[in-house]
Amino acid sequence: MTDMARDTSPKGFRSRVDERLGRGNRGPIAMWFWELDRVLLLLAFLLIAIGLIAVAAGSPATAQRYSGLNHQLAPMYYFWRQVMWVGVSVPVLLVFSMLPPTFAKRFALSACVFFGLLLLVTPFVGVEVNGARRWIGGGIAQFQPSEFLKPVFIVTIAWMLSLRARDPSLPMVPVTFALTAVVGGALMLQPDFGQTIIFGSVWLILLMVAGVNPKIIGGMIGAGVVGIVAAYVFYDTARIRIDNFLFPDHGGPGADHYQTDMAHATITAGGLTGTGPGGGVVKFRLPEAHTDYVYSVVGEEFGLLACAVIAILFFAIVARVFVKLLDEEDAFRLLAAAGLASQFGVQATINMAVNTGLAPSKGMTLPFISYGGSSMIALSIGMGLLLAFTRRNPYLHRSPYIVR
């Protein structure tokens, strides 16, 4: 007799769920359920849900902007495409969260090599969009290697730095510096200054978490400052964006403040509570309303209070991970989870800073909120790996005073 035949009442359904996911069950799904940080998963799902609402708000403006004489895009075109990407990404997130940490590490190391090689050839064979070569492939198969490289590169760097815990004599700091410099150089050739900042920032954060000598970290920060100055002097893309941000009225070559001006006008147009869903008007003059500047669209239609809620959700994810890691005894899992959470937080901070006029334009998506296939799937892989590395046996005692 089946379960349905035995008892179809709500109480019977709850009983079957308790039986299959109960703490006494040692099946793989039940173990995953009890080891998983369900609050962290809920926060991720909340951001994905908010992202669908945000893309729905920005889709009409983008559809109108990109509708040419020969074709007219439906107002909700980008929303339905985002629904499709979410339908692909959520299972990816859940599958990666179920991976054993050892297998997740091996996958990340292999994927890092694969996407690293793709990144190196992208500036030469990639598809050019808006003057940048950041994509490979075509049509629905077109993707951005740097997006997929981010989470697996972070896990790879975490693994290398964790080896220092076993043998401090290993030269892992210069090795990871060299790898980060190579990635940064490939990104600058595309050009993609924003992603370069993310890779460099997360690498510095991992050095601090790994307990590297503060003098070495200070030297690396100094080298980073020198690098930014050199980029300003020799790298046109960086110089133009920095000049446009610091000197908005200089009117020099390449001066274009339209995006930043419209982002500020859009995010402040709705006040604290917004104009209401579909009530935005300024968004129709905003470029990339569904991707880079979707945060501004949220501000216009749902208000600055909604923007604050999104910022709090990002902070809650990062804070929860770092608090959870206070008693982590495994050096690799500590570094990998800290790095993945940092990447998530740094990327969100940069996007929100650009939208609010606190940073120059960088073409950076807002994690789980902005439209995009490569971004959604890559972020789901990263969040899945983060959930895998933060899974805990609820019966395992951990001492907060022991760090290996």
Got the DSSP string for 165-199? HH-TTS-HHHHHHHHHHHHHHHHHHTT-HHHHHHH
Segment 372-384 shows an average pLDDT of 93
Residue 14 lies in a domain: no
Residue 131 lies in a domain: yes
Residue 117 lies in a domain: yes
Residue 209 lies in a domain: yes
Q: What percent of the chain has pLDDT over 90?
A: 50
Lowest mean pLDDT: which of 70-84, 221-235, 271-285? 221-235
- Hey, what amino acid is at 267? I
Q: How confident is the model at residue 253 (pLDDT cuts 50, 70, 90)?
A: very low
If one counts the domains in the chain, the total is 1
Residue 24 lies in a domain: no
Q: How confident is the model at residue 28 (pLDDT cuts 50, 70, 90)?
A: confident
- Hey, what amino acid is at 172? M
Name the CA dihedral angle for 70, 65, 370, 139, rounded to a multiple of 10 degrees.
20
H/E stretch holding 237 reads helix 236-246
Q: How confident is the model at residue 1 (pLDDT cuts 50, 70, 90)?
A: very low
Q: How confident is the model at residue 22 (pLDDT cuts 50, 70, 90)?
A: low
Lowest mean pLDDT: which of 44-48, 255-259, 295-299? 255-259
Residue 159 lies in a domain: yes
Residue 238 lies in a domain: yes
Query: What does the block give as tokens for 174?
Result: 């210069």
Segment 28-46 shows an average pLDDT of 88
Segment 21-48 shows an average pLDDT of 81
pTM: 0.86
What is the rounded distance in angstroms from the CA atom of residue 338 to the CA atom of residue 202?
9
| Structure-model confidence comparison of residues 277 and 212, the more confident one | 277
Lowest mean pLDDT: which of 54-58, 62-66, 153-157, 308-312? 62-66
Residue 316 lies in a domain: yes
Quote the pLDDT of residue 12.
57
Alpha carbon separation from 126 to 123, 135, 189, 347, 362 (Å, rounded): 6, 5, 11, 23, 19
- Which residue range(s) make up the domain with 299? 36-389
Q: How confident is the model at residue 336 (pLDDT cuts 50, 70, 90)?
A: very high
What is the rounded distance in angstroms from the CA atom of residue 108 to the CA atom of residue 333?
13
| Locus of tokens 């808006």 | 130
Lowest mean pLDDT: which of 7-11, 45-49, 387-391? 7-11
Quote the pLDDT of residue 237.
66
- Hey, what amino acid is at 348? A
Quote the pLDDT of residue 225.
79
Segment 216-222 shows an average pLDDT of 81
What is the rounded distance in angstroms from the CA atom of residue 179 to the CA atom of residue 183?
6
pLDDT at 166 over 90: no
